[in-house]
Chain A
Amino acid sequence: MTKLQIKNLNKSFDGIKILNNVNFFIDDGEIVSLLGESGCGKSTTLKIIAGLIESDSGDIILDECSILSIQAEKRKTVIVFQNHLLFPHLNTEDNIGFGLKMAGIKKSIKKNKVAEIISLLKLQRLEKRYPKELSGGQRQRVALGRALAIEPTVLLLDEPFSSLDIRLREEMRELVLDIQKKLRITTILVTHDKEEALMMSDKIAVMINGEIAQFDTPENIYEKPVSPSVADFFGEKNYIEGSVNNGIFECKFGSFQVELPSEKNGEMMIKPEKIELLCETEDYGMSNVMNGVVKKKRYLGDKVHYIVEVEGKEFKVISSEHMNFNIGEKVRLRIDFSKGIFYSMSNRC
C-alpha cells in the first residue's frame, strides 16, 4: 500500500531550477534511498516533504491525503540531519523527550518512552550527558532516538552517516536497518554513497540534475541502469561504440552475438566485473576474446582493479580472481556481450 507519494515537485531558487518534476513513491514500512550527487536537490526534497520549504508546484500525498496544507509541526515527518542538530542546552534524556514534551504527553508516559528508546539505541548511562560530552556516534544515535521517540509517520534521514568514520558508519547502518525493519517505519534516506543506497534500500530513486532518472529496486537499477549517467553512479563502466544489427553487435573489436533489438548507433556498456582476464599463453580459441596490455593495477585486498588497454582503448576491469597480473603484462579479455546494455546515442542523459 502506498504510504507516501511525491508528485511532480518543482522548485526553483533564485531562478535556478533545483527540482524538475520529481516523482516517486514509498510503500508502507519500506525504505527508499534518494541517491544523487551533492547539490542535486535531495535535501531540498526532504525539506519540502517535511514542510520546511514550500515547493513551487506539485503535491505530496500521505495516506491518500495531500499534506501540502498541513504545517510542518503537524505532519509527523521528522528529519534527522547530517550534523545531528542536537539541542545543546538539553541533555540526552531531554533531547530524546523533546518531541513528546512539545506534544504535551504525560510525564510518566514520556519517561517510559524515553527509557525504551535509550535501551533500543544502547545509550544507557548517557542520559544526563550534554551533546558536547558525547562522541560523534553517540550524538547521531541520540538524534535518531529523538526522531523515533515521537513515532513519526515518515522518517527522513538526510545523509546521517556522512560525518562518521567507516566503522561507525557500518554499525549505524546496521542499527538503522534493524530498527526500521522492527518498527516498520516508512523511511526516506538521502545519500550520495552508492553502497549505502544499494545495501539499505527496498527501492532507490536516482536523482540527477533535479530529476528522478530511475526509480527501481537496487538489483534492477544496478543490473539494468536506464542511462549511462545512472550507470556511472555505481562505479566507472566501460563503453564501446558500435551498432546492433540482427542480433549482432558490431564494433571495432569485432562482431559479437547479442540478444538485443537493432539500433543504429550507440554504446555498449560493459560492467568491469563482468570482464574476465585470462593469461595470454593459453589457447582458448573463442571468438569473444581480445588481446590487451595491463596499464594500471590497484590492489584492494578482496579485489584488484586493472586498466587494460586494447587496441588503443582503455578498459576498466575488476577481478576477484586470485590471478595476479603485473603492469605491462599481456592479457586476454573475455567479454560476454550478451550481459551488456546498449544505449543509443539519443539516450545519453
Chain B
Amino acid sequence: MIKPSVCFAEMYRIKVLIWTRYLFHRGVWGRFMKKNVIFNIVIYLAVFLILLPLTVLILWGFSKRWPWPYVLPTEYSLRGVAYFLTGTGNSIKILLYSIGLSFVVTVITLVISVPAARALGLYEFKGKGFFKLFVLLPLIISPVAVGIGIQVFFIKIGLANTFLGVVVVHLIPCLPYGIRILTNVFEVLGESMEFQARTLGASKTQTFFYVTLPLISPGLISAAGLVFIVSFSQYFLTFIVGGGNVITLSMVMFPFIQSGDRMIASCYSIVFIVATLILLIVIEKRVKAYYTVENHFYI
C-alpha cells in the first residue's frame, strides 16, 4: 500500500519537474537565474534590514506599552514628544545649539583639510607616506583616551568648559575623515586643470576659487556630511571638555538611553536622525545649486 504522503511527495516532485521543464522551454528559467534578480533580492534585503530597526525606533518613540508577544504597541502616547517640546530639557534650543556647534566644527575642519589634502594629494615631499598615516592616528587611538589629558591642559589655558574648547576637541576625530576623503579627491583630480588655468592667465588664488573648488565640490560635500555626523554624535569628548557647560543633543540623550526610558530616548534619537538628514540634504542642495552640473567631475 502506498502511503498518501509518499504519493503526495511523488506528485509534487513530478509537478516541479514538469514546471521546470516548461519554464526552460519558455526561456524563462534562464532569465530567472540571471544576475539581476539576485541583485535585486540583495538590495531589497539590505534596505529592509535598515528600515526595520528604524521602524522599531519610531514605534518605540510613541509607544506607551508594548509587551512581548505583540507585533505592534498596544498603547500609544505622545509623552515623549511632549517632553521634547516643552519639558525641562529646553530641547529645541539644545538641538539648534548642537547643530551650530557641529556646523562650526565642519567648516573649520574643511578649511584645514583642503590645503592639507592638496599637499598630500599633489605634492611629493619627504615623509609624505608618514604624514598620510599620521593623519589617520585619531581613528586608531581613541579620542577619549586623549580627551581627559586634553581637558587638564585646557584647564590650564582656560579653554575648559567653553564652546571653543569643545570645537577644538571635536577637530580631533573629524580631521582624519576630512583629510582622507579630500586627499583622494585631489589625487584623482591631478594638477593638469590647475596648470591649464594658470597658462590662461589665472593667478593661484583665482585658480583655486574658479577651478579647483568647483572641481572638488563633490568631495567637499561627502566630507562635510561625514564630518558633521562625526561631530554631532560625539558624546564623551563633549562631556569631558564641555564639563556641563556645553550641552549637545547627544549628551541630553544619553541618560535616557542609560536609564531605560525608551520612549523619550527614542524621540531624541528620531530627532537626531531627522536633523542630520535634513542638514545633509540642505548642504548637498546648496553646493550643487551653486555649481550646477551634477557629475561634472567625471568628464
Q: Which residues of A contact B (CB under 8 A)?
A: 47, 50-52, 72-79, 81, 83, 85, 87-89, 98-99, 101-103, 130-132, 146-147, 150, 156
Closest 7 CB pairs of A and B: A99-B200, A102-B202, A89-B214, A85-B196, A89-B296, A72-B198, A88-B296
Query: By the criterion CB–CB under 8 Å, are A147 and B296 in contact?
Result: no
Query: By the criterion CB–CB under 8 Å, are B293 and A73 in contact?
Result: no
CA distance A73 to B199 in the complex (A): 5
* Segment 183-219 of B: residues with Cβ below 8 Å from A: 192-193, 195-204, 206, 210-211, 214-215
Query: By the criterion CB–CB under 8 Å, are A98 and B296 in contact?
Result: no
Query: By the criterion CB–CB under 8 Å, are B293 and A72 in contact?
Result: no
Tier of interface size on chain B = 20 to 34
Query: By the criterion CB–CB under 8 Å, are B293 and A130 in contact?
Result: yes
Query: By the criterion CB–CB under 8 Å, are B291 and A150 in contact?
Result: no
A102-B199 CB under 8 A given contacts A87-B211, A89-B292, A131-B299: no
Query: By the criterion CB–CB under 8 Å, are A98 and B215 in contact?
Result: no
A102-B193 CB under 8 A given contacts A88-B296, A89-B215: no
CA distance A73 to B297 in the complex (A): 24
Which B residues lie within 8 Å of A146 (CB)?
200
Query: By the criterion CB–CB under 8 Å, are B199 and A78 in contact?
Result: yes
Which A residues lie within 8 Å of B299 (CB)?
88, 131-132
* Smallest CB separation, A100 vs chain B (Å): 9
* Smallest CB separation, B197 vs chain A (Å): 7
Query: By the criterion CB–CB under 8 Å, are B296 and A130 in contact?
Result: yes
* Smallest CB separation, B110 vs chain A (Å): 19
Query: By the criterion CB–CB under 8 Å, are B195 and A52 in contact?
Result: yes
Query: By the criterion CB–CB under 8 Å, are B296 and A79 in contact?
Result: no
Q: Which of A47, A74, A77, A88 has the most CB of B within 10 A?
A: A88
Which A residues lie within 8 Å of B201 (CB)?
73-74, 76, 99, 102-103, 150
Q: Which residues of B contact A (CB under 8 A)?
A: 192-193, 195-204, 206, 210-211, 214-215, 291-293, 296-297, 299
* Smallest CB separation, B195 vs chain A (Å): 5
* Smallest CB separation, A122 vs chain B (Å): 22
Query: By the criterion CB–CB under 8 Å, are B200 and A150 in contact?
Result: yes
A–B pairs, 24, beta carbons within 8 Å = A47-B195, A52-B199, A73-B198, A74-B201, A78-B200, A79-B195, A79-B196, A81-B196, A85-B192, A85-B196, A87-B193, A88-B215, A89-B292, A98-B197, A98-B200, A98-B202, A99-B201, A101-B210, A102-B197, A102-B202, A102-B206, A102-B210, A130-B293, A131-B299
CA distance A102 to B215 in the complex (A): 17
* Smallest CB separation, B146 vs chain A (Å): 40
CA distance A50 to B193 in the complex (A): 14
Query: By the criterion CB–CB under 8 Å, are A73 and B195 in contact?
Result: no
Given contact pairs A51-B198, A87-B214, A102-B210, enumerate 12 new A-B contacts (beta carbons under 8 Å). Answer: A47-B195, A52-B199, A72-B199, A78-B199, A85-B196, A88-B296, A88-B299, A89-B214, A89-B293, A98-B202, A131-B299, A156-B199
CA distance A73 to B198 in the complex (A): 5
A147-B200 CB under 8 A given contacts A52-B195, A85-B192, A89-B291: yes
Which A residues lie within 8 Å of B203 (CB)?
73, 102
Identity of the chain A residue whose Cβ is nearest the Cβ of B299 in the assembled complex = A88
Identity of the chain A residue whose Cβ is nearest the Cβ of B196 in the assembled complex = A85
Identity of the chain A residue whose Cβ is nearest the Cβ of B215 in the assembled complex = A89
Query: By the criterion CB–CB under 8 Å, are A88 and B196 in contact?
Result: no
* Smallest CB separation, A87 vs chain B (Å): 6
Which B residues lie within 8 Å of A101 (CB)?
210
CA distance A51 to B297 in the complex (A): 26
* Smallest CB separation, B189 vs chain A (Å): 11
* Smallest CB separation, A190 vs chain B (Å): 14
Which A residues lie within 8 Å of B210 (CB)?
98, 101-102
CA distance A50 to B196 in the complex (A): 10
A73-B192 CB under 8 A given contacts A89-B214, A102-B210: no
* Smallest CB separation, A294 vs chain B (Å): 50
Which B residues lie within 8 Å of A103 (CB)?
201
* Smallest CB separation, A91 vs chain B (Å): 9
CA distance A76 to B292 in the complex (A): 30
Q: Which of B206, B210, B299 has the most CB of A within 10 A?
A: B299
* Smallest CB separation, B72 vs chain A (Å): 50
Query: By the criterion CB–CB under 8 Å, are B193 and A85 in contact?
Result: yes
Q: Which of B198, B206, B210, B296 has the most CB of A within 10 A?
A: B198
Query: By the criterion CB–CB under 8 Å, are A52 and B200 in contact?
Result: no
* Smallest CB separation, A5 vs chain B (Å): 20
Q: Which of B192, B199, B202, B214 contacts A50 (CB 8 A)?
A: B199
Which B residues lie within 8 Å of A77 (CB)?
199
Which B residues lie within 8 Å of A51 (CB)?
198-199
* Smallest CB separation, A114 vs chain B (Å): 14
Identity of the chain A residue whose Cβ is nearest the Cβ of B200 in the assembled complex = A99
CA distance A147 to B198 in the complex (A): 12
Q: Which of B196, B203, B204, B299 has the most CB of A within 10 A?
A: B196
Identity of the chain B residue whose Cβ is nearest the Cβ of A143 in the assembled complex = B196
* Smallest CB separation, A132 vs chain B (Å): 6
* Smallest CB separation, A199 vs chain B (Å): 26
Which B residues lie within 8 Å of A102 (CB)?
197, 200-203, 206, 210
